[in-house]
Structure 1
Amino acid sequence: MAEQRTPRSLIVTFYGAYGREAGGDEGLPVASLIRLLGAVGVDAPAVRSAVSRLKRRGFLVADGSRYRLSDSARVMLADGDRRIYERPALKDDGEWLLAVFSVPEQERGKRHLLRSRLARLGFGQASPGVWIAPSQVYEETRHTLLRLELTPYVELFRGLHEGFTPTVEAVARWWDLPSIAGLHRGFLASQEPVLARWSAKGTQGAREAYRDYLLAVDAYRQLPYADPGLPGSLLPDDWPGARSAEVFASLHARLRERGAAHAAELLTA
């Protein structure tokens, strides 16, 4: 979650949460982005600097005085929607997805891209060149590899773990579970009090909903990528993943639409 709460991360979060609707095909002027991000504590110079970096990275495209999402950014955000809001149902059938790859040394940039994308899809490393994930991520994995033109280097297999180490022990080698649990607990430490406040007070203003929703999405959006979605039988008894998903779903249901009203107000200011 290295980009969390940076101006650049918050701009990406805004476009994912509201910007595609608000900006449409024409995009948004910097003045609007300054108002929209000012509501979550980002000052004008930081917004301008972050917009420039996102333009250089190909996330935003300048169109006169307005900035719109690039085609690749729209695809990335659509992929993020599926991962964050529509994650495939957890399976506990013992089936795994294996990605076996080999990349020539002269194309080591592709090797780095492939490893980073597999990690973002939730794969753990079983051995050099062999990565493993729960089988429910097959469709997303296939889509991602096709989109990034990485299929010539990868073969995908489905199967059972029949090794000599119990699966629960092997999983602890393939993923850094304490680190992932720490990410969940960090999210809960910041967002459970927000949910408690909204639950206790009931209806609050659109401004507060907008602020709290953007910060909640920014805090949560990397978690579904870091957490592979393992069945509970392979996780520690106190695993916090289900609770963090519940808290985020509750905040999304309470705040998203209320916050949209404030975003619309800022755009017409």
Structure 2
Amino acid sequence: MAEQHTPRSLIVTLYGAYGRTPDGAPLAVAALVRLLGALGVDAPSVRSSVSRLKRRGLLLAERTPEGAAGYALSPDARQLLDDGDRRIYDPPAPSLSDGWVLAVFSVPEAERHKRHLLRSRLARLGFGTAAPGVWIAPGRLHEETRHTLERLRLDPYVDLFRGEHLGYTPTADAVGRWWDLDAIAALHREFLAAHEPVLKRWESREPVAGEAADAYRDYLPALDSWRRLPYADPGLPAELLPADWPGGRSAEVFRALHARLRDAGARCVHTD
């Protein structure tokens, strides 16, 4: 299945990769149109997507230092991206000693719409379902889960616990019930099919002047695809995964693309 890169997702990916300046300066609307246009997104789609992100409280309308119209990240958006960095760029090696974090929630009937929001958000954080109403994830995800629930004001409905699995089903069998491992493996293979050929092309390519635009065009879609995977895949220890698990290879491919293309692509982003 061909990868799908929505304008809104690409804008979030762009800010995550290149839009977090120390002074919090906004990206100009004209720059957003130029950079998304290089990936095949037309200007009306960029503007409507930016408006939706503004309504969600992720972008703030501000003027650039030069006085142009632009958008900066909100504090919530920066926290969201900072939390994501730990998963996307530098995840710790999974270990059985991490233990588990459990989320148990109770939502009053009058606010039952929040049940779906809670379930979907926990799933997007990488939680699996251990039992009805009991969600589970590797213990190292506790802090990010807490930040997310607080940001969405869902924390009053949730209790979080940390612990270890004591039985009775062997944990390697249990995780096959808690997560859809076949579906997660398929996402890794889709990433490899789309982006491993890109890496091989760059590995055989001699450095040339003016390659920044090519690096940007290859890097941002790869990052846009990859950044979802560390959420769909909670990062389980190798002892709990099938022997042919493709997650290690897809992580290697992304790290190599990141090392080769990220800084080169930045020169395209910051071209005046």
**Equivalent position of 1:21 in the other structure:** 21
In structure 2, how many angstroms separate the alpha carbons of the residues matched to 1:54 and 1:139? 24
In structure 1, how many angstroms separate the alpha carbons of the residues matched to 2:247 and 2:109? 38
- The Cα shift of 1:94 comes to 7.5
Pairing 1:139-158 to 2, within 5 Å after superposition: 139-158=143-162
- 1:55 counterpart = 2:66: no
Q: TM-score, normalised by structure 2?
A: 0.89
- The Cα shift of 1:10 comes to 0.9
Larger relative helix fraction: 1
1:44-67 Cα distance to aligned partner (Å, 9 max, x none): 222222222222222222236322
Match of 1:115 among 113, 119, 126: 119
**Equivalent position of 1:77 in the other structure:** 81
Match of 1:245 among 235, 245, 251: 251
- The Cα shift of 1:171 comes to 1.1
- 1:8 counterpart = 2:18: no
**Equivalent position of 2:36 in the other structure:** 37
Counterpart residue type for residue 253 of structure 1 = A
- The Cα shift of 1:100 comes to 1.8
Unaligned stretches of 5+ residues in structure 1: none
- The Cα shift of 1:26 comes to 4.1
Identity of aligned residues (%): 67
In structure 1, how many angstroms separate the alpha carbons of the residues matched to 2:188 and 2:32? 30
Please state whether the residue corresponding to 1:133 is helix, strand or coil: strand
Counterpart residue type for residue 11 of structure 1 = I
Deviates more, 1:53-62 or 1:120-129: 53-62
Please state whether the residue corresponding to 2:24 is helix, strand or coil: coil
In structure 2, how many angstroms separate the alpha carbons of the residues matched to 1:6 and 1:158? 36
* RMSD (Å), alpha carbons: 2.2
1:100-128 Cα distance to aligned partner (Å, 9 max, x none): 22222222233233222221221101112
Counterpart residue type for residue 36 of structure 1 = L
Q: Is the contact made by 1:89 and 1:136 (CA closer than 8 Å) also made in structure 2? A: no
1:156-197 Cα distance to aligned partner (Å, 9 max, x none): 223332333332222111111111111111101011001101
In structure 2, how many angstroms separate the alpha carbons of the residues matched to 1:38 and 1:173? 43
Counterpart residue type for residue 134 of structure 2 = V
Q: Is the contact made by 2:171 and 2:240 (CA closer than 8 Å) also made in structure 1? A: yes
- The Cα shift of 1:227 comes to 0.2
Aligned residues: 264
Q: Is the contact made by 1:4 and 1:10 (CA closer than 8 Å) also made in structure 2? A: no
Unaligned stretches of 5+ residues in structure 2: 64-68
In structure 2, how many angstroms separate the alpha carbons of the residues matched to 1:139 and 1:94? 13
Please state whether the residue corresponding to 1:63 is helix, strand or coil: strand
Deviates more, 1:217-226 or 1:30-39: 30-39
Please state whether the residue corresponding to 1:201 is helix, strand or coil: coil
- 1:166 counterpart = 2:170: yes
Please state whether the residue corresponding to 2:97 is helix, strand or coil: coil
1:60-100 Cα distance to aligned partner (Å, 9 max, x none): 22236322222222222122212212323311237322222
1:203-234 Cα distance to aligned partner (Å, 9 max, x none): 24111111111111011010000001111111
Pairing 1:91-102 to 2, within 5 Å after superposition: 91-93=95-97, 95-102=99-106
